[in-house]
Structure 1
Amino acid sequence: MTTKSLNVAVLGAGLIGLDLVAKIQASPNLNCRLVVGRDPKTLGLRRAADLGCPISAGGVTALLGAGPFDVVFDATSAAAHTAHSAALSEAVPLLVDLTPSSLGIPVVPAVNGLDAPHYGHINLISCGGQASIPVLHALTRDHAATYIEVVTTVASPTVGRATRLNLDEYIATTQAAIRTFTGAEQAKVLVNISPAVPPPPFRVAMTVQAPGLEPARVHAALKDAERQAQAWCTPGFTITSCRVTDGRATVAAEVTATVGRLPAYAGNLHVINAAAVLLAEQRATGKAL
């Protein structure tokens, strides 16, 4: 199919929204035509303007009036996305939700990215979901998990106000997605926002209980998951440790922001934004990248 350039808009000018704008501007297939907030005094809107993007403080109403857009990225909050989804469902061909709203079809590029070009409303779950689900999906392809636990550690400077207010939704949405992608009977997600100095890297520690886990097969699955994640959109994804014993696998992975304006420790922002831009680029090219 012929590659085309898509006009896109970003709802939200927080930490996620600003990095998203920078990634969109680096894409040859996406044109950032509008960044929308609700407060004209927001520092994020001023920075978006400095990056060369048109801005508005008129919320989703202003976005609807400025369209049409081929893609809208929602980087606001779970509660706000409920209203945005209702307003945009018939007005935008592709709505990409970066909030933990649980609306739309959950997509993790390394797992079900090949199907994503056919969807109109995509839910990217959470940064923890994007980092952990490729590993968990690989480990549970041949083993039925009875329990999965994921502990994410993020550096405090990378967690904005909306994310902090959405921690309950973050946990619930990530747990539900883990169960969906793995078939696990139970899933538990914990979040550690670390104030340590220097800031720690973004890290996910995973525990999988599944009868019959074999070290050789687990390590092979992890290598495949790491390769898939790196190939799709996260070159800085690395499995850092693994231990298998008595039907239990404990695995740790780190995600480093390797490109763009983010510090290396902001892998949580990078992993979800890279996924969002990649899925929009798929729509532009008509194929998986």
Structure 2
Amino acid sequence: MSGKVKCAIIGSGNIGTDLMIKIMRTSKNLEMGAMVGIDPNSDGLARAARLGVPVTHEGIEGLLKMANYKDIRVVFDATSAGAHVRNNALLQRDGKKVIDLTPAAIGPFTIPVINGDANINEPNVNMVTCGGQATIPMVYAVRRAVERVVYGEIVASISSKSAGPGTRANIDEFTETTSKAIEVLGGAERGKAIIVLNPAEPPLIMRDTVFTLSQGGGRDAIEASILEMEQAVRKYVPGYRLKQKVQFEVIGDNAPVRIPGIGYATGLKTTILLEVEGAAHYLPAYAGNLDIMTSAALVTADHWAAQYLAKEAA
């Protein structure tokens, strides 16, 4: 017995491979039990095999046939929103804990610094999206300092090189899931999300812009809440930081903005500029989008595994 919970990763692309390396290097309560892909020539499967991790290129069916499948308690799904629906059904049948890194949103939205362990015992938890993990904490930071966030909009810009086939296949789901999570977790009455795949060479670091329109609450309180949130996220994503000072603009009655579904509104516009530098566990440091997603998933799963091990020991 290693004293750790065995886990599997479905999806041997950029996200899955980065997560595997994080688990092997930094996890307190998890150990790799399997790496699952569909391309026998994928770099992720090759790396896993070299590191001594059991592998299969036969997808979920291959995982179900693996000799140690019965010992695996946690499964991370880093495939696509469409594939996750079927994967989850099979895994739930077998009583596995599922951490969803796709935008499928079958389980409740989970962002460590917002709702932390609130959904820890749900059979499936959804990690929203990389852009959501980076920006929604800031929408929430504004919301807790004001009476009302009428609107929240985020723009996530990531290097094209950090976006693998799964990410590209999920663009529509990214915008829909992130927009919804801005409302559900961020507390905005209306949310909108935009993602930009930047083809610049050399690749640029992940950059995120957050806009909110709020009512009630002062600038000092909003800025203090934002700075506190920055430090909270940095505890598990050290490369997360404000790019520059928070910006404010008063939207008055002379020039109200029209918000779909709400109408014309006034208030205080807050602009938050972020950048996320990755830990370079797999792709270089420009891939902060991988780092924040996999770090959030690992923190969530590690907390669940700690509880599981404590119960087993009792």
TM range (shorter): over 0.9
Q: Provide, for residues 70-93 of structure 1, a one-character-per-residue CA deviation record: whole Å limited to 9, x for no partner.
A: 100000000000111111113244
Task: Report the equivalent of 1:184.
Answer: 188
Structure 1 residue 12 and structure 2 residue 33: aligned?
Answer: no
Which secondary structure does the structure 1 equivalent of 2:149 belong to? coil
Task: Report the equivalent of 2:262.
Answer: none
Query: Is the 1:116–1:279 Cα contact (8 Å) retained in structure 2?
Result: no
Structure 1 residue 113 and structure 2 residue 116: aligned?
Answer: yes
Unpaired segments ≥5 residues, structure 2: 251-267, 309-314
Which secondary structure does the structure 1 equivalent of 2:175 belong to? helix
Letter matched to residue 20 of structure 1:
L
Letter matched to residue 221 of structure 1:
S
Unpaired segments ≥5 residues, structure 1: none
Query: Is the 2:14–2:283 Cα contact (8 Å) retained in structure 1?
Result: no
Task: Report the equivalent of 1:89.
Answer: 92
180-189 or 249-258, which deviates more? 180-189
What CA distance in whole angstroms lies between the structure 1 residues aligned with 2:136 and 2:162? 21
Query: Is the 1:128–1:174 Cα contact (8 Å) retained in structure 2?
Result: yes
Query: Is the 2:117–2:300 Cα contact (8 Å) retained in structure 1?
Result: no
- Using the TM superposition, give the Cα deviation of residue 30 of structure 1 relative to its aligned residue in structure 2, in angstroms: 1.4
Query: Is the 1:222–1:239 Cα contact (8 Å) retained in structure 2?
Result: no
Query: Is the 1:4–1:284 Cα contact (8 Å) retained in structure 2?
Result: no
Match of 2:167 among 163, 166, 177: 163
Match of 1:254 among 260, 271, 275: 275
Change in Cα spacing, 1:39 to 1:151, as seen in structure 2 (3 Å) is same
Letter matched to residue 180 of structure 2:
A
141-150 or 4-13, which deviates more? 141-150
138-147 or 118-127, which deviates more? 138-147
Alignment of 1:64-75 (within 5 A): 64-66=64-66, 67-68=69-70, 69-75=72-78
Query: Is the 2:8–2:35 Cα contact (8 Å) retained in structure 1?
Result: yes
Query: Is the 2:7–2:31 Cα contact (8 Å) retained in structure 1?
Result: yes
Query: Is the 2:111–2:127 Cα contact (8 Å) retained in structure 1?
Result: yes
Letter matched to residue 39 of structure 1:
D
- Using the TM superposition, give the Cα deviation of residue 45 of structure 1 relative to its aligned residue in structure 2, in angstroms: 1.6
Q: Provide, for residues 26-48 of structure 1, a one-character-per-residue CA deviation record: whole Å limited to 9, x for no partner.
A: 12421111111123233332222
- Using the TM superposition, give the Cα deviation of residue 4 of structure 1 relative to its aligned residue in structure 2, in angstroms: 4.1
Structure 1 residue 146 and structure 2 residue 150: aligned?
Answer: yes
What CA distance in whole angstroms lies between the structure 1 residues aligned with 2:280 and 2:168? 25
Task: Report the equivalent of 1:129.
Answer: 132
- Using the TM superposition, give the Cα deviation of residue 259 of structure 1 relative to its aligned residue in structure 2, in angstroms: 5.6
Look at both structures and tell me which one has the larger radius of gyration over its CA atoms: 2
Which secondary structure does the structure 1 equivalent of 2:117 belong to? helix
Among the aligned pairs, what percent are the same residue?
Answer: 35
- Using the TM superposition, give the Cα deviation of residue 213 of structure 1 relative to its aligned residue in structure 2, in angstroms: 4.7
RMSD, aligned CA:
1.7
Q: Provide, for residues 158-211 of structure 1, a one-character-per-residue CA deviation record: whole Å limited to 9, x for no partner.
A: 000111111000110000111101332221111111111221111110110112
What CA distance in whole angstroms lies between the structure 2 residues aligned with 1:4 and 1:255? 33
Task: Report the equivalent of 1:230.
Answer: 234
What CA distance in whole angstroms lies between the structure 2 residues aligned with 1:222 and 1:240? 13
Match of 2:225 among 221, 225, 233: 221
Query: Is the 1:32–1:53 Cα contact (8 Å) retained in structure 2?
Result: yes
What CA distance in whole angstroms lies between the structure 1 residues aligned with 2:193 and 2:201? 24
Task: Report the equivalent of 1:172.
Answer: 176
Task: Report the equivalent of 2:213.
Answer: 209
Structure 1 residue 274 and structure 2 residue 273: aligned?
Answer: no
Task: Report the equivalent of 2:47.
Answer: 47
Q: Which runs of 4+ in 1 moved over 4 A?
A: none
- Using the TM superposition, give the Cα deviation of residue 51 of structure 1 relative to its aligned residue in structure 2, in angstroms: 2.6
What CA distance in whole angstroms lies between the structure 2 residues aligned with 1:139 and 1:270? 24
Query: Is the 1:214–1:244 Cα contact (8 Å) retained in structure 2?
Result: no
Query: Is the 1:147–1:184 Cα contact (8 Å) retained in structure 2?
Result: yes
TM-score of the aligned structures, taking structure 2 as reference length: 0.86
Query: Is the 2:14–2:282 Cα contact (8 Å) retained in structure 1?
Result: no
What CA distance in whole angstroms lies between the structure 2 residues aligned with 1:58 and 1:92? 21
Change in Cα spacing, 1:286 to 1:140, as seen in structure 2 (3 Å) is same
TM-score of the aligned structures, taking structure 1 as reference length: 0.93
What CA distance in whole angstroms lies between the structure 2 residues aligned with 1:184 and 1:215? 18
- Using the TM superposition, give the Cα deviation of residue 152 of structure 1 relative to its aligned residue in structure 2, in angstroms: 0.5
Letter matched to residue 169 of structure 2:
L
Structure 1 residue 263 and structure 2 residue 284: aligned?
Answer: yes
What CA distance in whole angstroms lies between the structure 2 residues aligned with 1:213 and 1:199? 39
Task: Report the equivalent of 1:34.
Answer: 34
